[in-house]
Amino acid sequence: ACPAPFRSTVGDEELSTVTSLTPQQWQQAHDSTGRVQKFRQTCKLIRKRGLAKELRSQAWPLLLSCYAPDETIAGRQAVSDAAQQELNSLLQQAAAPDAHNNFELSSGGETWEQNVRRIATDVNRTDCGSGNITAEERSAIDARLTHILTAYAYCDPVVGYCQGMADILSPFLLVFPQDDALAFMCFAAFMGQIRQNFLEGQPGVHSSIQHIGSLLQHADPKLWRQIEKLDMSTGVFAFRMLVCQFRRELTFDDVFGFWERLWAAEQMAHCQLKDHCVAALLRLNRKQILRLRSPEDFIQFVNKDIIPLDGPATIKAAYKLWKQTGSKQKQQPAASEKWQRLSKAETVPPKTSDTLKMHAQAASEDQV
């Protein structure tokens, strides 16, 4: 069943009462070979309305550029098969007796065992939504989390496993309940966009905080002056939002709709809009922020009063802010070109996770 209609406001402009994009509408967007027709128009509908739950396993790989809109059904299957081969290969390598040696040669000093322990610790405390699952079901979820996080950490030893990645992965497991390869592929594509947030020194987070300040200075100088007055221009309040991609600012059920609307908006804008979401969230609450008197008041307001945030309103305001401030911002990385290449390749995927390394490199190079 489709999610219940929502009603929200953005400034003086009211969002219409709408329901999610339906399976029939999704089917009408494809031709007989499976190619998406009028991709931008489809993204516009998703940005405004989100997706019916049963469509996410089909739409998320597309929104994350794991395959191109003009890919056929056969081409998408080839992409999925390549992802399965890659996942199997990485898990085999990670389980090999010399796994720690291969990992540590590229990790900058961290041991493979340290990463394995961090994964185990985080998996045990990861929120996977429903509190009504059995112990057996929870054990199966934990095993899936562990396998995919192990594969991802092993393929990118420079980053390895960092706290917060399990939280980012868990929604993908519910979207792909029977397909670890697609969950892995989409998770890797999303991580490619935000990889610099997890590098040593977290340069991606610092770059985003500077960008958020620039957006607010341009779009709402009065609000930015208030943030400076409250000694919040360092952006400490945005750290968790940026690292965990708003996972903890939303209810678990709301994460799915927020992310897919965000990705659809980014496909339309051809750039990342995550920083715009933080700036938009502040602007949506500007009246309250302008009345705050201390840094402590600000932190308390952000951590308690605006959480859980209004996902549809935030995405709408972020997209509006992007149009207002111009498009010369962080370009959306072509993080998943490797999967598109693999779908057309006549040879087997490169060994030793070369595909994901190319993916990480492409994402890093496209970050501004």
Instruction: Mark whether 311 and 215 lie in a shared domain.
Output: yes
pLDDT value, residue 130: 64
Let me know whether 191 and 339 are in one domain: yes
Q: What is the structure's pLDDT at 28?
A: 93
Residue 8 located in a structural domain: no
**Cβ–Cβ under 8 Å, residues 224 and 188:** no
For residue 329, give the nearest of 266, 260, 237 by alpha carbon.
266
Same domain, 319 and 352: no
User: pLDDT value at position 137?
Assistant: 87
* Enclosing domain of residue 116: 73-195+334-366
The reply to whether 116 falls in a domain is yes
Same domain membership, residue 119 and residue 158: yes
Number of domains in the chain: 3
Q: Would you tell me the crossing angle of helices 135-155 and 112-124 to the nearest 10 degrees?
A: 150
Same domain, 191 and 214: no
pTM: 0.85
Q: Are residues 24 and 114 in the same domain?
A: no
Q: What is the pLDDT of residue 13?
A: 36
Low pLDDT (below 50) residues in the chain: 1-17, 330, 332-336, 339-368
Nearest to 298 by CA among 248, 364, 227, 200: 227
Domain end, chosen from 40, 63, 86, is at 63
- Whether residues 51 and 87 fall in one domain: no
Same domain, 23 and 52: yes
Residue 140, in any domain of the structure: yes
Is residue 7 assigned to a domain? no
Q: 328 with 174: CB under 8 angstroms?
A: no
Where is the domain boundary, 28, 63, 98?
Answer: 63
Whole-number pLDDT of residue 368: 34
Instruction: Answer whether residue 141 is part of any domain.
Output: yes
In this prediction, residue 292 carries a pLDDT of 95
Residue 52 to residues 23, 71, 177, 267, Cα–Cα distance (Å): 7, 22, 16, 19
Q: Which residues, 6 or more positions from 237, have their beta carbon under 8 angstroms from its beta carbon?
A: 298, 299, 302, 303
Structure confidence at residue 78 (pLDDT): 96
Is 122 found in the same domain as 25?
no
Decide if 2 is inside a domain.
Answer: no
> Is position 6 within any domain?
no
Q: For residues 70 and 193, what is the distance between their CA atoms, to the nearest angstrom? A: 22
- Measured over the CA atoms of residue 55, residue 56, residue 62 and residue 67, the dihedral's sign is negative
Do the Cβ atoms of 56 and 255 come closer than 8 Å? no
Residue 4 lies in a domain: no
- Residue 104 has what pLDDT? 82
So what's the pLDDT on residue 221? 96
